[in-house]
Structure 1
Amino acid sequence: MAFDTWVAADGWALRSFAWPQPGPARGSILFLNGRGDFIEKYLEPLIHWHEQGWTVAGFDWRGQGGSGRLLADPLICHQLDFDPMVQDLAGFVAQWAATTPAPHVIVAHSMGAHLTLRMLARGTHVIDAAILASPMIDIRVMGVPGWALRWLAGLASLAGLAERPVSRKDIGDVGGRMTSCPERRADKAWWKASRPELASGVASWSWVRAARTSIRRLRRRDIAALDIPVLVITSQRDPVVDVRAIARLARTLPEAELMQVPGGGHELLREANARRLPIMARIDAFLDRIGPPLSC
């Protein structure tokens, strides 16, 4: 796995990685992480797919991980607008697809899955299939509907709080919100302690407003025209994203299949093995149909 810098159209430097196969490859996977994530959190699935014969690549989104920050406080996860990230993805995909073997598959988590759909909904892409884990079709906040969340974020921004965090404390994995696996929680903590420049924290009010605006821009009629195989995976009680909105998405996509995992937890690719291994097996079966294993 080789890390590099990929420069976006506006000059923003994004930390990227490429991991080609030493010989023939089944195809190419582009992995896209979620809000506040960084590449190292997902080394387990990346290693797995590489061992299965796929070339693997990815990058940290602008404003997080190794791709620089938008605020002086690096622990506030901030965005003004999601459109630049959609542009980043489209530019990266064009270059990646032109230099890697087909078929080309995106595997994306949460915010990364949302941005993937934004890009695919444009109608011009070179992606052969997509796997969306806990896609951020809408944000779940207990007792607060989506429209009210956008209104609150707009009001906070008008009050001069756009760059302030929405909460004083990052609840993170409290109560197993992200993952029920203590070893993987410890792994994330180790990386953040060892490489503090990769760490992010609570979202700003501006991030919330930008997220809700981007959600509104993802129109159902555009998604309905997406004619590639899509595997959608979600927890039945995901505490971060709206599970009902995800189910509606799966019904809207012409070639989608939906896997609903019992229980909660948002980071399905980092869950305890009792939950994670069946998810990885389902992904493997999906990938086998897209890029069959190479014969010896």
Structure 2
Amino acid sequence: MTIIVDPDGPKLANVASNPIPDGVRLGYFKTSDQVRLRYAFWPRTGPVHRGTVCLVQGRTEFIEKYFETIADLRSRGFAVATFDWRGQGGSDRLIGNRGLGYVDQFSDYWCDLKSFHAEILLPDCPPPYYLVGHSMGGLVSLFAGVHDRLMFERIFVSAPMVALDKQPLSMGGMAKVAEVLSFLGLGQLPAGRQADKPMSEGTFPNNPLTSDKARYMRSVDVVRAEPGLGVGKPTIRWVAAAMAAMAEAGRDNFPGRIRVPLLMLAAARDEVVSSSAIEQLGLRLRTGRHAVIAGARHEMFVENDFIRGQVFAAFDAFITEQSG
């Protein structure tokens, strides 16, 4: 096991609005290509042993954002293991500007997940294993279902990043443009709108992520306490990698390549990823299905109680009631 013993050790931000759940084991591990990632593990709190949920985040996110969801999963009898992707959270940043999102190839995220499974899940976490992913992590989760049907018993994804709406070109076309810009040496420059701003109380009205202000502000509080966890705009290189991955997910043969039981949830009011693309993919799955959560914005795990209740009802029907 490639666990790094660090006298300073990794830390979790602990703020009044978002306290750390009890019982955490925190550490670093190294991926097969030698990138250091921060991870955390919590044992179950429920009376029935149901295995371990491997929880993977979206772009810009960090372990601390999911404390409430981790508590919800533990109370159902699941241990929870999670980590920060390369380039974000408390994991190694890949370029000099820590505030920009960067990855060389989207397959590097698969390397992160595969290394986590080998180094942390298999040796240290109780089986069986279930994969739960959001947004960018949802797309990585879909590729996990393509690449290895034995790693996880079931896969549950929230608003997976399979396509973006309102783009001037197709996902493949956008990938080619960003690839050319990267080839010209511009890969580490930021992409995105000038109007995009960091999350704050002032950005809550009309935000595309959640209708729940208290949950929205928890992430703001965490980054205020630990600014190093934050990530802003993606780089052109990240756009090239992500668009190419989304283009692959849009190919006609992709749904049939997923070989693990899968449930995808789409948010009816999603303005970040394409809900219609999720629905189209869901209709063509051989080993899975999809559902649309009415009224939900993109980040369903940090939405209001009514929407979260629907998300966990779907999770329970698909995973909790099938485990243990």
TM-score, normalising length from structure 1?
0.90
Q: Looking at both structures, which has the greater relative contact order when contacts are Cα pairs under 8 Å and sequence separation is at least 6? A: 1
Q: 1:194 aligns with which of 215, 225, 237?
A: 225
Query: C-alpha displacement at 1:144, in angstroms?
Result: 4.6
2:221 partner amino acid? W
- The equivalent residue for 1:138 is 163
Deviations 1:40-73 (A, max 9, x none): 0111111111111111101000000000211221
Query: How far off is 1:80 after superposition?
Result: 1.6
Please report the RMSD computed on the Cα atoms of aligned residues, expressed in angstroms: 2.2
Return the alpha-carbon distance in structure 1 between the equivalents of residues 52 and 74 of structure 2: 9
CA contact (8 A) 1:46 1:56 kept: yes
Which position in structure 1 is the counterpart of 2:186?
161
- Aligned-partner residue type, residue 258 of structure 1: H
1:285 aligns with 317
C-alpha displacement of 1:24: 6.0
For structure 1, list consecutive stretches of 5 or more residues without a partner in the other structure. Answer: none
Quick check: 2:172–2:244 contact (8 Å CA) kept in 1? no
Question: Which residue of the partner structure matches residue 58 of structure 1?
Answer: 82
Of 269-278 and 221-230, deviating more is 221-230
Tell me which of 243, 246, 253 is aligned to 1:215.
Answer: 246
Residue 39 of structure 1 pairs with residue 63 of structure 2: yes
Change (3 A) 1:222 1:155: closer
Maintained 8 Å contact 1:169/1:202: no
2:187 match: secondary structure: coil
Displacement of 1:159 in angstroms is: 4.7
The aligned residue for residue 3 of structure 2 is: none
Among 25, 35, 53, the alignment partner of 1:29 is 53
Q: What residue in structure 2 maps to residue 269 of structure 1?
A: 301
One-letter identity of the residue aligned with 1:49:
L
Q: Who is 1:183 aligned against?
A: 214
- State the distance in 1 between where 2:254 and 2:291 align: 22
CA contact under 8 A between 1:141 and 1:240: conserved in structure 2?
no
Count of residue correspondences: 292
Q: Which runs of 5+ in 2 are unaligned?
A: 1-23
- The SS at the match of 2:147 is coil
Q: Give the Cα–Cα distance (whole angstroms) in 1 for the partners of residues 198 and 289 of structure 2.
A: 29
Deviates more, 1:93-102 or 1:249-258: 93-102
- CA contact under 8 A between 1:103 and 1:290: conserved in structure 2? no
Asked whether the 8 Å contact 1:239–1:264 carries over to 2, the reply is no
- Amino acid in the other structure paired with 1:115: V
Change (3 A) 1:237 1:171: farther
Is residue 2:196 matched to residue 1:170? yes
Quote how far apart the aligned CAs of 1:258 are. 1.6
Q: SS of 1:121's equivalent? A: helix
| % identical equivalent positions | 27
Q: CA deviation at 1:111?
A: 0.7
Q: Which moved more, 1:109-118 or 1:215-224?
A: 215-224
Counterpart for residue 14 of structure 1: 37
Range with bigger deviation, 103-112 or 115-124: 115-124
C-alpha deviation, 1:243, in angstroms? 1.6
1:238 counterpart residue number? 270
User: What one-letter code is carried by the residue in structure 2 that aligns with 1:150?
Assistant: A
SS in 1 for 2:215: helix
Aligned twin of 2:118 = 94
Does the Cα contact within 8 Å between 2:190 and 2:236 map onto a contact in 1?
yes
The secondary structure found in structure 2 opposite 1:238 is: coil
For residues 85-104 of structure 1, the C-alpha deviation after alignment (integer angstroms, 9 at most, x for no partner) is: 21121121234135433321
| Greater alpha carbon shift after TM alignment, 171-180 vs 8-17 | 171-180
The secondary structure found in structure 1 opposite 2:297 is coil
Point out the more displaced range, 82-91 or 60-69: 82-91
Residue type of the alignment partner of 2:231: S
Q: Does 1:203 align with 2:226?
A: no
